Chain A
């Protein structure tokens, strides 16, 4: 499985900043044609028959590269993958020819129930085998390379025998999938689990990075009153996350970078400013390589 093409006949997302596409921005995007490298959409929002979502995405896709980001496949689930959902994804890929398709190292469905959240899994041999089987199944049925996103987590499992970056590295090695490196998730998880983010990054196969996510987090406290970070995509990108991003770019060179904002969505201009900031850093990284 190691030589799967990227989508859209082996093209990739350009090494530029992109934004998540929300319905409230459809018209603004078409009218102002912002200078962005790509847009990303949540695949599940477009699993509808017709109407404005398809109308606007079709027009925006004519002008911008597209990243299709799934949030409901439950790759880390104990049960089998939902083949009806895979068919819906295949139809979207056929229709919009995105440059990238990504999903999460997490589970969100159990039996017939969909829990609408990205839930953590134990990292042991059995779950590694299962995740690899699922990634193989996704890649062979969608006929494309999957980018697998590292999760933000709040808990760990007694039964885990592998640490997260090694688990991810092993999935990438065995399936040939790529990495969607969410730098905010790295920071959030490392704070929540008392890990060193740089050591975490060192343990990941960063050369497999096909896309980067940057986002903001919320702060909470656990039962000891210690800092517990929540990946809520509801705040500006934290300075610590920007710093980690710079460290990542030193190793990867410029890689398509999404500014993720799903809650407390600010003015469009505020999001564009974060994208410009990422573009500056990407340019600088490009000049170095």
Chain B
């Protein structure tokens, strides 16, 4: 077993003694100095999680959050030096983390916060001018097989909890009261440089999901139950979520 292998294993497992062969010039117990590295690694990973999951941390309190994130970090250390991706599967971990079971909506709030980070760093794309979209959509000959291209940052989340309301309540200081037990669908996207989060209807969720899957406008409308089409399109336009329309002749 290599030196760094033992070093790395002991960093992530506090039950392990520090590896042999370590010394300190003043004769101090190497364990006390190894502890600096162990603490650096764990606290840096917990801090990275705290940066990415601020509402989850508020919901359970800082002490609980740091404990939970620490267990996560030890069981699932990063696999890449690109730390913005770290913690992608934290929501799944939370679902299995029994001490958090009394906060049933915690995992979905984590999912929403992860989508916000993804939207924040997603690829850039120019939104299409509102007038051009309206013009194209008003032409009945073109509209039938039109495909709507959505911004790369756009993300959707379906939850049995009021995930948007819970998140929004924690954007106030101090957080305001919220009612968690009502199903909500979230739409997350980056509009210019700001990440936006808002609730959408079930029908709008189905419709936008179909558009993301590449269905034509007509097919997406047919696939959605109970869709209020005009306000949904107006909202997508207002939030600069539409980047292009296909077929090409209308995007010139």
Q: Which residues of A contact B (CB under 8 A)?
A: 44-45, 47-55, 71-74, 77-78, 82, 85, 88, 107-117, 119-122, 154-159, 192-195, 220, 222-224, 226, 228, 230
Contact = CB atoms under 8 A, between A and B. Distances in A.
Interface stretch (B1-9, B154-162, B210-218, B231-239): B1-9
B21 A157 contact: yes
A247 to B, nearest CB: 22
Given A50-B124, A82-B81, A155-B30, A77 B4 contact: yes
B122 interface: yes
B41 A117 contact: yes
Given A50-B123, A52-B120, A114-B77, A119 B7 contact: yes
B144 interface: no
* Residue of A48, A51, A224 with highest tally of chain B CB at under 10 A: A51
A223 B18 CA distance: 14
Given A52-B193, A117-B37, A156 B7 contact: no
Interface of B: 2-5, 7-8, 11-12, 21-34, 36-37, 40-41, 44-45, 48, 77-84, 120-125, 152-153, 190, 193
Nearest to A107: B4
Contacts of A223: 28-29, 31-32
A121 B22 CA distance: 10
A61 B42 CA distance: 33
B2 A116 contact: no
Contact of A113 (B28, B77, B152): B77
7 contacts: A48-B82, A117-B37, A119-B4, A122-B21, A154-B36, A192-B25, A226-B28
A156 B24 contact: yes
A155 B2 contact: no
A55 B21 contact: no
B3 A155 contact: no
A155 B23 contact: yes
Contact of B8 (A55, A113, A195, A230): A113
A51 B190 contact: yes
B1 to A, nearest CB: 11
Contacts of B37: 117, 119-120, 154-155
B21 A85 contact: no
A50 B48 CA distance: 20
Given A50-B122, A158-B22, A222-B26, A114 B2 contact: no
Contacts of A49: 121-124, 152
A93 B228 CA distance: 48
Nearest to A26: B193
B28 A224 contact: yes
Nearest to A225: B28
B24 to A, nearest CB: 6
B121 A50 contact: yes
B41 A116 contact: yes
A224 B152 contact: no
B82 A88 contact: yes
A116 B45 contact: yes
Given A116-B41, A157-B3, A108 B81 contact: yes
